[in-house]
Amino acid sequence: MITLGILGLPLLLIRPSAAQQPATGTIQRLNAGDRACYVDVVNDQGQKFTEFANFEICEQNLVGQRVQLTYESGNIQAASCQGNPDCAETETVMLITQAQVIPAPTPAAQPTSSRVQNLPDGNYRYWSGTSGGVVSDDALLANGGVTFTFTKQGNAITGVFGYVDGEAICVQGQVSGNTVSGAAVQTLRGAQVISAGDTFKAFGSSGYLQVRRGRQVSPGVVRYGSALLNLNGLNRINAGSRVPPRGC
């Protein structure tokens, strides 16, 4: 089974290399293993990585935070030791030695007339890129970021929020100003619940969409009973050829 991204292209499995190690990203999970602290991080393009880190990193409250990562060369127990604490074999890897939390930017105020709430009923697409107007699929792929393709009827919003050629999720709710509040459903093979409790956690690295009260409906479906999508900072572009869903 091949899972398609929001532009209809297959998702790629990212295998980290020294050249690919993300400098910034959002921490998804920290796990203290036998060899090092394992850090699951999603970079600003929505790609997932697992990196080695000093054990001290696992002791910090970083899950869900967007961070600046610092790497240094260091020695860890070799994989050939298979977790044997008496094994003295080592290997040299790049380790995360520092993860500095990046404060979320304060969104700029937008004119009342440009708010999503005040749009006429219809289909729309917003993008996190710096330009508005007509943007081609090639330009989206080249620049990355997130898009929200949605239909609006009154204050009711239904659409797909996702990372360009990355994970996507259906969002449905009511809009007030530029914020959509409601529920979300992700349909993706291997999708896992980000937040099962009452704490909002970011869907991906951008921070635009926060979800909570998630439950695994099936191996490929996760439903979130509460979702907040902040569209401040996104630019309206051409609606594109993909029709927004009627429901999630």
Q: pLDDT tens, 169-194?
A: 999 999 999 999 999 999 988 889 99
Q: What pLDDT, on the 0 to 100 scale, is given for residue 103? A: 84
52-102 tens-digit pLDDT = 999 999 999 999 899 999 999 999 999 899 888 889 899 999 999 999 998
pLDDT score for 113: 44
CB-facing half-sphere around the CA of 245: CA atoms within 13 A: 18
| pLDDT exceeds cutoff 80 at 154 | yes
Q: Hunting for tokens 């060899």 — which residue is that?
A: 35
Structure tokens at 173: 């709710």
Question: How far, in Å, CA of 190 to CA of 242, rounded?
Answer: 24
* Per-residue pLDDT tens digits for 92-129: 999 999 999 988 665 554 544 478 999 999 999 999 98
| pLDDT of residue 159 exceeding 60 | yes
- Structure-token match 């959002």, residue found: 26
Task: Please give the single-letter amino acid code of residue 216.
Answer: Q
Average pLDDT, the chain: 86
Longest dimension (CA), the chain: 68
pLDDT the model gives residue 108: 52
Higher per-residue confidence, 37 vs 43: 37
10 pLDDT above the threshold of 80 = no
Pairing state between β 24-32 and 156-163: unpaired
Highest mean pLDDT among 32-36, 132-136, 156-160: 156-160
The number of CA neighbours under 13 Å toward the Cβ of 151 is: 10
Of residues 130 and 191, more confidently modeled: 191
Radius of gyration of the chain (CA): 20
Helix (H) or strand (E) holding 140: helix 137-143
Q: How far apart are the first and last CA of the chain?
A: 22
